[in-house]
Amino acid sequence: MNRRSIATVSLSGALDEKLRAIASAGFDAVEIFENDLLSFGSGPRDIAKLCRDLNLAICAFQPFRDFEGMPEPQRARTFARAERKFDLMQELGTDLLLICSNVSPASLGGIDRAADDFRELGDRAARRGLRIGYEALAWGRHVNDYRDAWEIVRRADHPAIGIILDSFHALAPGFPVRAMASIPGDKIFLVQLADAPKLELDILSWSRHFRSFPGQGDLPVGEFMAAIAATGYAGPLSLEIFNDQFRAGSATQTALDGLRSLILLDDQLAPDWPRFAAEPLAPKAKGRGIGFIEFAVNETKAGELGRLFAQLGFRKTGAHRSKAVERWSQGEVELVINSETDGFAHSHYVTHGPGVCAIALDVDNAGLAMQRAESLRARTFYQPVGPGELEIPAIHGVGGSLLYFLDQAGKNWDTDFEPVTSDKGADALLAVDHIAQSMPYDEMLSWLLFYTGILDLKRLPQMEIADPRGLVQSQAIINADQSLRFVLNGSSANRTLPARFISEFFGSGVQHVAFACRDIFATVAEMRKRGADFLDIPANYYDDIEAKYDLAPQLMAQLRANHILYDREGDGEFFQVYTHIFDERFFFEIVERRNYQGFGAANAGIRLAAQAREVRPASMPRM
Ligand code: MG
Ligand code: MG
C-alpha cells in the first residue's frame, strides 16, 4: 500500500533532488506541488518516469485554486483551466487533484452552488478516470472549515468527488475534530499532516512559514489522527509542510525527519490504526542520567583540561591501561579525557577541535534503545568506540558526536581503567544538571525529533534569548524525574556566540555542561581555593537584581563577589556561575536549584554578553 507520502513543497532543491531525497528516506508516495513542476527543466512525462524509477507513487497533484462558486464568465474559464490540469495529471500519471477552497473576492458563497460546480467537475474528471479532493483552507473566502467542505462534498454526491483533510487547517483555527469521525473513510481522498508551534500570528503566515512535522509543534495532531482512524480511512498520510527552514535546509535530512515523524505517529496511533510497520517500536528509552561525558583533545589540551577539572574539584580516578584516556570523577559525575591519536575520539578532535565527542546515557535497556533508534533511522554504531575502545552501543548524535547507551551490562565501561588514588575531595558537585548543545537554527527541529523520538523526554516551552549579535532560540527537553536535561540552542544570525561556536567548532556540538551542587557559595569558595576563576559579570547586573528581587545585602554581596547569577520563578530560586570558555570551544556551569525548574533564561543574555566581551578580538577596546 502506498501510504507514506510527503508533498514536494516541504523540501528544498529542484524537483528531481526532492524526489530522490524522498525516495531514499523511504517514502512510498509524493504529492507533486505544481510550482515545483512548472519551475523544473523537464516535463511531466519525465517526472512520471523518474517517480516510477524511484518507486514513488504520485498520490496527488496540487493545488488547484479558486475553483468553486465563480460567476460567469470566470466560471467557464475555471472549468477550461481544470481540463488543462487534467491533461497534465494524465501525463504525470496521478489520478487525484487537490482543490483548495476559493479565496477569490469574485467568488460567490452558497453550499449548493459549490456542490453543483463540484458535481459538474466530477463528471468531467470521471470521464478521464480522475478524482477531485476538496480541502478547506483556514483562510478560504466562503469555506474555511472542513465541516462546510464536507457538506459540499456530501451534496455533490459524486463518486469522483471527495474531501481532503489537513491537520493544520482543522487544528490551527481550533475546530473540533470529533465531527471528522463521522465522514465515511472512502469519501476522504487524502489526509495531509502538519504540526506547528503555538504562535500569535495570523493564520496564513503561520501556515506558510511555520508548519512543522508532527511531534515538532504544539498542535494535537494525535487527536486529529484518532478521528481519522475512526473513519476507516486507509489511504496515504501525506506530510505537507510549508517551513522556511525546511526550504533552506538539506532535503535529505528533512525527508528523513518527515519519515521519522510518520513512524512515530503510526506507532502512537496503534492499536486503533492499521499501522505501516509490521512491529510496534521498542518503547522509548527511559533515561536515568548521564553515565559519562567524553572529551576528545590532544595531549597538550588534555593537561589543560585536567587542570580545569581539578580546579572544579574533580579527582583523577582512573587511567586507561594502554591508552591515553583518563577518568575524572566527582559525586555522580564521570568525565573522560581522551587524547588518543587514533580511533573515534581522535577523528572527532581532528574535525572539530577540543570538545565533547560522546555522551553516555544511563538507560533502562540499551538493546531496546538501540532497536528503537534503528527503527527511527538513527545512524547506529556497534564498533568498539567507547573510552579506550570498548564496544558500547551507540548512535550518531548532534554534530557527529556519539550517544552511548549504558545499562547494567554497560556499567563496566571503566573495566580497562587502572584506579588512581587521589585525595578524597569535597564532592561538592553532585551530578550533571544539564547539557547545552549549539546548532544552526535550521537543525533544531531535527534534533528535537531525534531526542524526543528515541528517549522519553518532553519539551519545555521554547525561549528566545538576546545575544549581543542576534537572537538565539533555546529549547529544553527533560525527562520526568529530571535526571536528563538537554538544552538545544539554535541561532540563525551568524555572529551570535552559539553561531560563532558552531563555525569554530566546525559543526554543532556541546557548548556547555552544567553541574548541580547543594551549596553554590561553599562550592565556589572551594573551587576558588583550587585556583578556579569564573566569568566576570558586570556590576549593572547586580544593581538590577538587587532592585528587582529585594535580596538581603549579605546575599547580594556574596553574589557580586563570586560572579554568581540569580533567578527566581515563583518560590523557586536559581544560582548559576560559569567558568571561562575553554579554548574558545566550551565551558562549564555550576548551578544550585532551590525548587526551581528552569535554566536561568533571564540571565542567558547577560552571560552571552559577558562571554562575547571575553572572546572579542584584542584589537577592540575593552569597555
Ligand atoms: Mg493542505
Ligand atoms: Mg545552562
Cα of 67 to ligand 1 centre, how many Å? Answer: 16
- Report residue 505's pLDDT band, with 50, 70 and 90 as the boundaries: low
Give just the sign of the alpha carbon dihedral 196, 201, 207, 208.
Answer: negative
Closest ligand by atom to 240 CA: 1
Closest ligand by atom to 487 CA: 2
Closest ligand by atom to 514 CA: 2
Question: Of 276, 297, 324, which closes a domain?
Answer: 276
- Report residue 563's pLDDT band, with 50, 70 and 90 as the boundaries: very high
- pLDDT score recorded for residue 318: 94
Please, which residues have CB within 8 angstroms of residue 464's CB and are 6 or more apart in sequence? 471, 472, 473, 474
- pLDDT score recorded for residue 621: 43
Closest ligand by atom to 510 CA: 2
Cα of 120 to ligand 1 centre, how many Å? Answer: 23
57, amino acid identity: A
pLDDT of 617 > 60? The answer is no
Closest ligand by atom to 488 CA: 2
Query: Does residue 437 belong to any structural domain of this protein?
Result: no
Query: Does residue 183 belong to any structural domain of this protein?
Result: yes
Nearest to 363 by CA among 237, 454, 256, 469: 454
Closest ligand by atom to 65 CA: 1
- pLDDT score recorded for residue 297: 97
- Does residue 78 sit in the same domain as residue 128? yes
pLDDT of 125 > 80? The answer is yes
pLDDT > 70: percent of the chain:
96
Which residues span the domain enclosing 129? 4-276
Helices 146-156/111-127 angle, 10° precision:
60
| pLDDT, tens digit (0-9, with 9 covering 90-100), for 46-84 | 999 999 999 999 999 999 999 999 999 999 999 999 999
CA distances from 27 to 2, 62, 261, 487, 588 (A): 8, 18, 12, 31, 42
- Does residue 131 sit in the same domain as residue 245? yes
Q: Report the range of poorest mean pLDDT among 57-66, 269-278, 589-598.
A: 269-278
d(CA 347, CA 360): 18
Question: Of 257, 276, 295, which closes a domain?
Answer: 276
pLDDT of 254 > 90? The answer is yes
**Do 34 and 61 form a contact (C-beta atoms < 8 A)?**
yes
**Do 171 and 212 form a contact (C-beta atoms < 8 A)?**
no
Closest ligand by atom to 9 CA: 1
Cα of 170 to ligand 1 centre, how many Å? Answer: 10
- Report residue 2's pLDDT band, with 50, 70 and 90 as the boundaries: very low
| pLDDT, tens digit (0-9, with 9 covering 90-100), for 15-30 | 999 999 999 999 999 9
Cα of 529 to ligand 2 centre, how many Å? Answer: 24
Cα of 240 to ligand 1 centre, how many Å? Answer: 6
Q: Report the range of poorest mean pLDDT among 471-475, 484-488, 505-509.
A: 505-509
What CATH number has the domain bearing residue 196? 3.20.20.150
pLDDT > 90: percent of the chain:
79
Query: Does residue 237 belong to any structural domain of this protein?
Result: yes
Q: How many Å from the N-terminal Cα to the C-terminal Cα in the chain? A: 66
Cα of 250 to ligand 2 centre, how many Å? Answer: 29
- pLDDT score recorded for residue 498: 72
Mean pLDDT of 482-504: 80
- Report residue 389's pLDDT band, with 50, 70 and 90 as the boundaries: confident
pLDDT of 155 > 90? The answer is yes
| Residue predicted with more confidence, 428 or 441 | 428
Query: Does residue 113 belong to any structural domain of this protein?
Result: yes
Cα of 171 to ligand 1 centre, how many Å? Answer: 12
- Report residue 248's pLDDT band, with 50, 70 and 90 as the boundaries: confident
Mean pLDDT of 230-250: 92
Question: Of 254, 276, 298, which closes a domain?
Answer: 276
Closest ligand by atom to 167 CA: 1
Backbone angles phi, psi at 298, to 5 degrees: -100, -175
| Residue predicted with more confidence, 179 or 382 | 179
Q: Where are the alpha helices (DSSP H) in 361-496?
A: 366-375, 441-454
Cα of 217 to ligand 1 centre, how many Å? Answer: 17
Q: What domain count does the chain have?
A: 3
Closest ligand by atom to 190 CA: 1
- Does residue 373 sit in the same domain as residue 481? no
pLDDT of 43 > 60? The answer is yes
- Does residue 453 sit in the same domain as residue 414? no
d(CA 280, CA 450): 18
Cα of 586 to ligand 2 centre, how many Å? Answer: 12
- Does residue 570 sit in the same domain as residue 462? yes
Closest ligand by atom to 135 CA: 1
- Does residue 234 sit in the same domain as residue 328? no
Cα of 44 to ligand 1 centre, how many Å? Answer: 22
- Does residue 185 sit in the same domain as residue 208? yes
* Cα radius of gyration rounded to whole Å, the chain: 28
- pLDDT score recorded for residue 623: 39
- pLDDT score recorded for residue 622: 40
Mean pLDDT of 407-423: 81
- Does residue 72 sit in the same domain as residue 188? yes
Closest ligand by atom to 193 CA: 1
- Report residue 493's pLDDT band, with 50, 70 and 90 as the boundaries: low
Q: How far is CA 266 from the centre of its chain?
A: 18
| pLDDT, tens digit (0-9, with 9 covering 90-100), for 215-228 | 999 999 999 999 99
Cα of 489 to ligand 2 centre, how many Å? Answer: 10
Query: Does residue 430 belong to any structural domain of this protein?
Result: no
Cα of 512 to ligand 2 centre, how many Å? Answer: 7
Please, which residues have CB within 8 angstroms of residue 103's CB and are 6 or more apart in sequence? 65, 66, 137, 139, 140, 141
| pLDDT, tens digit (0-9, with 9 covering 90-100), for 285-332 | 999 999 999 999 999 999 999 999 999 999 999 999 889 999 999 999
Cα of 387 to ligand 2 centre, how many Å? Answer: 26
Q: Find residue 478's DSSP bridge partners.
A: 458, 485
Cα of 361 to ligand 2 centre, how many Å? Answer: 19
Query: Does residue 489 belong to any structural domain of this protein?
Result: yes
CA distances from 234 to 135, 214, 455 (A): 18, 19, 29
Cα of 468 to ligand 2 centre, how many Å? Answer: 17
- Does residue 510 sit in the same domain as residue 396? no
| pTM, 2 dp | 0.92
Closest ligand by atom to 513 CA: 2
Mean pLDDT of 240-265: 93
**Helix, strand, coil % in the chain, rounded to nearest 5:** 40, 25, 35
pLDDT of 481 > 50? The answer is yes
| Residue predicted with more confidence, 360 or 614 | 360
Mean pLDDT of 184-195: 97
Query: Does residue 426 belong to any structural domain of this protein?
Result: no
- Does residue 52 sit in the same domain as residue 156? yes
**Do 537 and 580 form a contact (C-beta atoms < 8 A)?**
no
Closest ligand by atom to 608 CA: 2
Closest ligand by atom to 463 CA: 2
- Does residue 413 sit in the same domain as residue 462? no
Mean pLDDT of 123-133: 98
Closest ligand by atom to 238 CA: 1
Cα of 377 to ligand 1 centre, how many Å? Answer: 26
Q: Which three cell numbers stand for residue 444?
A: 533544531
- Does residue 477 sit in the same domain as residue 560? yes
What CATH number has the domain bearing residue 366? 3.10.180.10
| Residue predicted with more confidence, 600 or 470 | 600
Cα of 395 to ligand 2 centre, how many Å? Answer: 24
Question: What is the three-class DSSP state of 367?
Answer: helix
- Report residue 492's pLDDT band, with 50, 70 and 90 as the boundaries: confident
Cα of 135 to ligand 1 centre, how many Å? Answer: 7
- pLDDT score recorded for residue 618: 45
Closest ligand by atom to 437 CA: 2
Query: Does residue 429 belong to any structural domain of this protein?
Result: no
Cα of 593 to ligand 2 centre, how many Å? Answer: 12
- pLDDT score recorded for residue 495: 67
Average pLDDT over the chain reads: 92
pLDDT of 277 > 60? The answer is yes
